[in-house]
A and B are shown apart, each in its own frame.
Chain A
Amino acid sequence: MAEFRMPSLGADMEAGTLVEWLKHPGEKVHRGDIVAVVETDKGAIEVEIFWDGVMGRQLVTPNTKVPVGTPLAVIEGVAVEPTAPSQPLAAAKPAAPAPARKEARASAAPGGMRATPAARQAAAERGIALASVKGTGPGGAIVLADVEKVGAAPTLRIGLDLDKMRRAIAAAMAKSKREIPHYYLATDIDMARATAWLAATNAPRTPAERLLPAALTLKAVALALRKYPKFNGCYREPEGFVASGAIHIGTAISIRGGGLVSPAIHDCDRLSLDEMMARLRDLAARARDGRLRSSELADPTITVSSLGDRGVDSLYGVIYPPQIAIVGFGRVAAKPAVVDGNVAARPVMAATLAADHRVTDGHIGSLFLNAIADLLQEPDKL
């Protein structure tokens, strides 16, 4: 028997509100299943379970706010209590992209309308006829988010409260600047080969199949981390630096209207560029829809932020604790460079590193940045 607890989804999270159970008592659960939805400052998060068993007694009812670590349910048939999944660097890997939130218990309402209990309750509370709601769950079932879409003001996003998100960002960034002695490095990367390779690769593809430069930079960072693992992990008292055995890159995604989340793309070093692109698309869509998963918020081992789209030449990031580094990329811009003794215009991108001086120094930091630059000179090998 094990206790399924309110997870910690970041250094700044103290409590969360259980919004919905997605598994009934008596139902089998498997490692990686999404079993509940929890509302946090970062939005409505789909919480995964990290072991196989059977959903037992549920100790917390929906719409209840409880502190991190509070037992939410009993999971029966679990022989050994696993490593706490709420800790960053959790070993458990989530499933790959995509499926929409599982709502296995959607059941037919009178008239044949399939809807989850939470959706029915929300519809009743808001006076919304289920027949008027378009279901987006499995088999067209109406889920809570569908009802909220109908009932919400048009400018609101499901599960996202930008004021709360701003407070969470403020808390995390203030903690970072208070506790982490940052140092900063920058280098210019020649992107001629990478951009040419990308153009040639994308030319025969449809838009849905094309790659963005972000796929290349994420993979380059991941591979460079294999060589310089001192930038991949977290810093905790009293242990100090704790290296991560896996490379889960937190990818900064801006939320329109003001907001930022950096959910993890898991095992970046093992993904092909096409897989990386698919993960990025999936993650950005769900981040902006307020449908991230618990492991995506808890697991990042480093952050990568790119602001080139916004015309920024370079950015100096603030480390998201307890991580110990953030890599930034600016825009690719033509700049004069000396090539074979002649001055020529080259596409150049600034890469920056903000890292924790308690763990590394500028010397190894510069080697890490140079490794990223070198990897981007051979995009076909990424």
Chain B
Amino acid sequence: MTDVEIRAAVIEELGNIAPETDAATIDPDDDLREALDIDSLDFLNFLAALHKRLGVNVPESDYAKLLTVNGAAAYLAKAVAALPKHT
């Protein structure tokens, strides 16, 4: 999966969590909680969706690294690359 695809997945899942907003148009360095008006339950649902989609299980201690689109995309790109490869 490419970095572009991972970023697209992040934006799509944010769109599913907060369909009234457009995650693609926010500043990728803005705090998602404020930019999209999402709360801790939304954020947990966002992480659950990414886990299901990308196989990355983000521990609570890393939550702060995924609070922006850029942060989430970078974290997930690294995590996806580190996942065991299926043969």
* Chain A residues proximal to chain B, CB less than 8 Å: 155, 157, 199, 202-203, 206-208, 210, 212, 214, 254, 256-257, 280-281, 284-285, 309-310
Contacts and interface: CB of A to CB of B under 8 A. Distances in A.
Interface in B33-62: 33, 36-37, 39-41, 44-45, 47-48, 50-52, 57-60
A284 B20 contact: no
A207 B40 contact: no
Contacts of A280: 41
A210 B60 contact: yes
Given A157-B20, A206-B57, A212-B44, A309 B51 contact: no
A256 B41 CA distance: 13
A253 to B, nearest CB: 9
A256 B48 contact: no
Contacts, number: 44
B5 to A, nearest CB: 20
Interface size class of B (residues with CB under 8 A): 20 to 34
A207 B52 CA distance: 9
A207 B41 contact: no
A310 B33 CA distance: 9
Given A206-B51, A207-B51, A256 B21 contact: yes
A227 to B, nearest CB: 28
B9 interface: no
B11 to A, nearest CB: 15
Given A155-B20, A208-B48, A208-B52, A281 B57 contact: no
B46 to A, nearest CB: 8
Q: Is the interface of A mostly helix, strand, loop or mixed?
A: helix
B40 A199 contact: no
Given A309-B33, A309-B40, A207 B20 contact: no
A215 to B, nearest CB: 10
Contacts of A254: 39
Which of A157, A254, A256, A281 gathers most chain B CB within 10 Å? A256
Contacts of B60: 199, 202-203, 210
Contacts of A157: 19-20
Interface string B3-34: 00000000000000011110000000000010
A202 B20 CA distance: 30
Contacts of B33: 309
B32 to A, nearest CB: 12
Given A212-B41, A256-B37, A309-B33, A207 B57 contact: yes
A90 B12 CA distance: 41
A280 B45 CA distance: 12
A206 B50 CA distance: 11
Contacts of A284: 41
Contacts of B57: 206-207
B59 A309 contact: no
Contacts of B41: 212, 214, 280-281, 284
Given A155-B20, A214-B41, A256-B20, 12 more contacts: A199-B60, A206-B48, A206-B57, A207-B44, A208-B48, A214-B40, A256-B36, A256-B37, A281-B41, A281-B45, A284-B41, A309-B40
Contacts of B19: 157
A210 B20 contact: no
B12 to A, nearest CB: 15
Given A206-B57, A207-B57, A257 B20 contact: yes
B37 A207 contact: no
Contacts of B37: 256-257
Closest 3 CB pairs of A and B: A207-B47, A208-B48, A207-B48
Contact of A212 (B20, B21, B36, B40): B40
